[in-house]
């Protein structure tokens, strides 16, 4: 199913606060902070010419976030970035010192960080990023995980010294419980979703994500005509849509938001024209996208600058994992987790449907950008679905950038 967004505003796309949050200047500041980190390397951008020819489009580019900051997910750009920002802000507030990321090892900065505790709910990747950021600055982290989070993902979070709190129910239940506990105990909630009265920190999370767009757009020799990006609560989709709108204005690429059919809260929100919470049913294999209520700030942005919303089935997500692991025609192999290739799966679905192709203007000249949002963040689950261990995917250790 594909729904065109009739709410999009091509005249004045973003509200002023959202435009400032996702501005070119803000994105440059994110990249500056990243450049000071010893573990930072720009992630690869792959070209898939064989798949492009098969689908009848001009080019397909995959920004591979499976190698981001050692966490294997684009989420590394959000939570850890925000924790660092908030610690430095608190140091400035308490001491009046003009501190920067280079000062994180100073005793007076570490003393302030030790007083701070950061909490969040997670499907796995965001919590790991928050925990990594807290460990980096010397703060504490408490991560709330719902019953669908795998043991391997929990262990990966705990590796960074986080206290783990298990919550019965869904991701949305864990978000509500985390906010309640953090409020009661005076901890700072670093959520990647927003609700009434809580937008600043989710906005910073999305601001962190803009770094991957900056890297990708510098590497491609001409702007894409279409972008397919997956969504849970909508953070990465909104960051992408907003950044493209600010960069290209009326000439921005067409952006399609892709969700699991079992958790399509943004598609239903777009259909209704206002935020909708969809009922929880059978879990989706796309674990990092299993969200049933959109982020309010993400929807505010997407309602203005996303062109369409669509959903894919379970088998589509598994199929693209296997296709990327065993490419045809000389395309590079890519390790994509259960949620990583969803944008590309959406493109394949659209390319095979004449009506959808026509609706989105997809043709032989189209240049498509997609994001592999995660690698094998649960290696055992990856091997179960693909039949190969991540390390055995041909060429995975010899990534080449376009």
State the pLDDT at residue 401: 37
Question: Which of 63, 75, 331, 378 is labelled catalytic?
Answer: 75
Q: Please, what's the b/e burial string for 345-361 (b: 16 or more CB within 10 A of its CB; e: otherwise)?
A: bbbbbbbeeeebbebbe
Question: What is the DSSP-derived secondary structure letter of residue 110?
Answer: H
- Summarised one tens digit per residue, pLDDT across range 146-197 is 988 989 899 999 999 999 999 999 888 999 999 999 999 999 999 999 999 9
Report how far residue 124's alpha carbon sits from residue 127's, in angstroms, rounded to the nearest whole number.
Answer: 6
State the pLDDT at residue 105: 94
Bin 330: left if φ > 0, else alpha if -120 < ψ < 50, else beta: left
Report how far residue 27's alpha carbon sits from residue 247's, in angstroms, rounded to the nearest whole number.
Answer: 11
Question: 140 catalytic, yes or no?
Answer: no
Question: 192 catalytic, yes or no?
Answer: no
Please answer whether residues 108 and 95 qualify as being in contact, where contact means their C-beta atoms are separated by less than 8 angstroms: yes
Question: Which of 18, 63, 64, 123 is labelled catalytic?
Answer: 123
Instruction: State the pTM of this model.
Output: 0.93
Spans of the chain, pLDDT less than 70:
9-12, 394-402
Burial of 97 (0-12, 13-18, 19+ CB in 10 A): middle
Domains and CATH numbers, the chain: 2-73+201-392 (3.40.50.1100), 79-191 (3.40.50.1100)
Please answer whether residues 160 and 131 qualify as being in contact, where contact means their C-beta atoms are separated by less than 8 angstroms: yes
State the pLDDT at residue 299: 96
Report how far residue 259's alpha carbon sits from residue 229's, in angstroms, rounded to the nearest whole number.
Answer: 9
Report how far residue 193's alpha carbon sits from residue 189's, in angstroms, rounded to the nearest whole number.
Answer: 11
The first and second tokens of residue 269, run together, are 């929100």
User: Among all chains, which residue has been given the structure tokens 């091997």?
Assistant: 383
> Distance between alpha carbon 95 and the CA centroid of its chain, in Å?
34
Report how far residue 233's alpha carbon sits from residue 262's, in angstroms, rounded to the nearest whole number.
Answer: 13
User: Among all chains, which residue has been given the structure tokens 């067409």?
Assistant: 254
Q: Give me the DSSP letters along 294-339.
A: --HHHHHHHHHH--EEEEE-HHHHHHHHHHHHS-STTPPP----TT
């Amino acid at each position: 199913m594909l729904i065109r967004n009739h709410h999009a505003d091509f005249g004045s796309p973003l509200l002023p606060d959202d435009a400032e949050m996702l501005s070119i200047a803000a994105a440059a500041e994110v990249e500056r902070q990243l450049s000071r980190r010893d573990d930072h390397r720009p992630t690869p951008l792959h070209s898939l010419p064989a798949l492009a020819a098969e689908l009848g489009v001009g080019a397909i580019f995959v920004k591979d976030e499976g190698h981001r900051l050692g966490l294997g997910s684009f989420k590394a750009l959000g939570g850890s970035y925000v924790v660092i920002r908030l610690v430095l802000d608190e140091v400035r507030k308490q001491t009046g010192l003009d501190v920067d990321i280079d000062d994180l090892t100073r005793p007076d900065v570490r003393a302030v960080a030790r007083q701070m505790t950061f909490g969040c709910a997670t499907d796995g990747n965001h919590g790991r990023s928050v925990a990594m950021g807290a460990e980096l600055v010397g703060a504490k982290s408490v991560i709330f995980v719902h019953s669908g989070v795998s043991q391997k993902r929990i262990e990966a979070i705990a590796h960074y010294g986080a206290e783990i709190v298990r919550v019965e129910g869904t991701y949305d239940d864990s978000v509500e419980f985390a906010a309640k506990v953090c409020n009661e105990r005076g901890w700072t909630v670093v959520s990647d979703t927003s609700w009434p009265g809580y937008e600043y920190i989710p906005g910073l999370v999305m601001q962190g994500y803009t770094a991957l767009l900056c890297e990708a757009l510098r590497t491609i020799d001409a702007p894409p005509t279409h972008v397919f990006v997956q969504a849970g609560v909508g953070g990465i989709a909104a960051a992408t849509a907003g950044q493209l709108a600010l960069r290209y204005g009326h000439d921005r690429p067409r952006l399609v938001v892709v969700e699991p059919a079992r958790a399509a809260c943004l598609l239903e929100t777009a259909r209704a024209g206002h935020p909708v919470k969809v009922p929880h049913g059978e879990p989706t294999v796309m674990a990092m996208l299993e969200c049933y209520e959109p982020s309010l700030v993400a929807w505010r942005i997407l309602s203005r600058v996303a062109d369409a919303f669509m959903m894919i089935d379970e088998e589509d997500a598994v199929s693209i994992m296997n296709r990327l692991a065993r490419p045809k025609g000389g395309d590079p192999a890519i390790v994509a987790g259960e949620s990583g290739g969803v944008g590309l799966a959406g493109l394949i679905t659209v390319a095979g449907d004449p009506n959808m192709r026509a609706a989105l203007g997809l043709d032989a000249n189209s240049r498509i950008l997609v994001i592999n949002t995660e690698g094998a963040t649960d290696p055992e689950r990856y091997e179960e679905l693909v039949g190969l261990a991540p390390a055995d995917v041909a060429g995975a250790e010899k990534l080449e950038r376009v």
